[in-house]
Structures are given as C-alpha cells and as structure tokens.
Amino acid sequence: MSVPTKHEVKFCSNCASALEWLSMDEDGGAKSRLRCVACGYTHWNNPTPVLAAVIECADRDGKVLLARNAAWTHRMFALITGFMEAGESPETGIRREVMEETALEVDALRLIGVYEFERMNQVIIAYHATARGEVQLSPELAEYKLFDPADIICWPAGTGYALADWLRGRGHEPKFMEFRRRP
C-alpha cells in the first residue's frame, strides 16, 4: 500500500457528530483541536507512522532498487513506502510492504533512522533492507530501476534524507536534486 494524501476529518469517529475546532486546557496549556461537543471525543491528529525501505539487492551486485509510483506524473524514483498496520511491528510491516510492492524477500533489516514529514502529518521510520528474489511490482508502482549507490540522486524531503543518511554510512557523499515545494 502506498501513501495517499491527507484529508481533514469532519465527523466524530465515536458518535458521528460534526467535529468543531475548540480550545481546551491540556497538560501543555490551552490547545485548539477538533473535538466533539456531543460525546467529548478529541481528534488528536497524531502523526501516522510510515515505513520506508532502502532496498539493497543482495543478488544484484548490491544495487539499490528505487521505484516510481504509478500516480506520479514526474519521472522520479523513490523508496518503497507504506503505512504501518495495526498488530504488526515496524520490522514486520516493512517486510510485508517490500513483499507486496516488489515481491522481494527481505533477508535482513537495519534501522536507518526516524524522519519528520510534517507536511503530510507523518513520521517516517526508514530501514535498510537487504533483499533478494525476482522483482514483480504491485499495480501501484509503474516501474523500478536498479542504481549503483554512487549514482543515486536524493530528494530534499522525507525519505530522501533517509536515503542520504544511508549513503553517507556507505561512504558516499549524497547528491541532492533541485526540488520545488508545492506553495
């Protein structure tokens, strides 16, 4: 599963009344949040954990697999990502995502780091995944490419910083592409 764009919640998930922006005293002082007047429910809007993998193909000379999402109009290749699901650990989740999206089997996982992606209200948990097998992309991915680590160009946002940190750990000073943030 790749990650859809965020939307604003309108209704209480407990009683289905309309939520309102209301200020209330919390531990950190007065805070305005979407709250339900009918039942007292607060929509905390905590960031969602997103799992990401730098996939190193153990059976393809250590090349790194990056993939292009079918929904993207620009020709950019990025990490495999997906939402963490209830009842799984981050490690179980990223193994599942790699299998679902590429059909590759993960041999080993190592945490690269945890990264903010505030624009999407997400927190990215990024792994280095050593994987092997025949690549079969899910319909969500249009194409993939195998890169020599030295040739990878990073993007200055979210998972791009995870990739850059992984490259640094491998002794490659990361190169970044020009990137325009949406206004």
Contact letters for Zn ion, residues 63-102 (x by CB under 5 A): ----------------------------------------
- Contacts with Zn ion in 9-28 (CB under 5 A)? 12, 14-15, 17
Min dist. Cβ of residue 125 to Zn ion (A): 31
Q: Using CA atoms, how far apart are residues 128 and 43, in angstroms rounded to an integer?
A: 33
Q: Given the complex with Zn ion, which of 38 and 70 has the nearer CB atom?
A: 38
Q: Which residues of 128-155 are buried (b: 16+ CB within 10 A; e: fewer)?
A: bbbbebebebbeebeebeeeebeebebb
The token pair at 152 is 């990878």
Does 38 bind Zn ion (CB under 5 A)? Our answer is yes
Candidate residues 1, 9, 22, 39; the one interacting with Zn ion per rule CB under 5 A: 39
Which sign, positive or negative, has the C-alpha torsion 54, 88, 34, 2?
positive
Pairwise CA distance, residues 127 & 119, whole Å: 21
Residue 144 lies near Zn ion (rule: CB under 5 A)? no
The residue from 2, 34, 35, 36 that contacts Zn ion (CB under 5 A) is 36
Binding site for Zn ion (CB under 5 A): 12, 14-15, 17, 36, 38-39, 41
